[in-house]
């Protein structure tokens, strides 16, 4: 009985401490319709003034960007399926001179040696609040030089 209680307590502790990897986010599209996105853990955009751009990393395709409130949702596609993939978003904080100002972001992908060939899609979520400027109330952001998917972020 004693060993059963210890085992049960350990299992409960492991399950309770395990970080949540994905969540379903429901949002209203402005027209009254609800949509759902499967989103990985929320990430933070690292601001590094010396950052020059992505180092040679693993292949990734950015399918879409979307701003909802203070969050940037990045829909990515990559091959894998056997190992955990890591994504890190950077910016050097250098705004392009335009109205509104444009800020390039850089998404780095580390597949951790995953050679599997399944086509994976994931929506990553990043907090945009650290990018706010006192000079303006809105900016445009784009990722990995893909201005085709540029989105606007505004705040009050």
pLDDT at 65: 96
Over the chain (156 residues), the average pLDDT of each successive run of 10 is: 44 36 42 40 83 84 96 95 93 93 95 94 94 92 95 95
**Number of domains making up the chain:** 1
| Residue 126, domain CATH | 2.60.40
- Please check whether residue 58 lies inside any domain of the structure: yes
- Please check whether residue 27 lies inside any domain of the structure: yes
- Please check whether residue 134 lies inside any domain of the structure: yes
- Please check whether residue 16 lies inside any domain of the structure: no
pTM above 0.85? no
Cis peptide before 100 (omega within 30 of 0): yes
- Please check whether residue 3 lies inside any domain of the structure: no
- Please check whether residue 13 lies inside any domain of the structure: no
- Please check whether residue 12 lies inside any domain of the structure: no
By residue range, what is the domain housing residue 73? 21-154
pLDDT at 37: 42
- Given a contact cutoff of 8 angstroms between Cβ atoms, the answer to whether 141 and 56 are in contact is no
- Please check whether residue 138 lies inside any domain of the structure: yes
């Amino acid at each position: 009985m004693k060993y059963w209680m210890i085992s049960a307590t350990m299992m409960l502790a492991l399950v309770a401490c395990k970080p949540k990897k994905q969540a379903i986010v429901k949002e209203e599209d402005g027209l009254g319709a609800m949509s759902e996105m499967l989103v990985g853990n929320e990430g933070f955009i690292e601001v590094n003034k010396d950052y020059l751009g992505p180092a040679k990393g693993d292949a990734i395709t950015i399918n879409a960007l979307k701003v909802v409130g203070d969050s940037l949702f990045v829909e990515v596609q990559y091959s894998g399926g056997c190992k955990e993939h890591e994504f890190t978003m950077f910016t050097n904080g250098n705004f392009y001179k335009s109205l509104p100002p444009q800020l390039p972001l850089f998404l780095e992908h580390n597949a951790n040696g995953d050679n599997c060939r399944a086509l994976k899609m994931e929506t990553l979520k990043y907090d945009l609040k650290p990018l706010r400027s006192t000079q303006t109330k809105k900016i445009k952001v784009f990722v990995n030089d893909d201005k085709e998917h540029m989105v606007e972020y505004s705040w009050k």
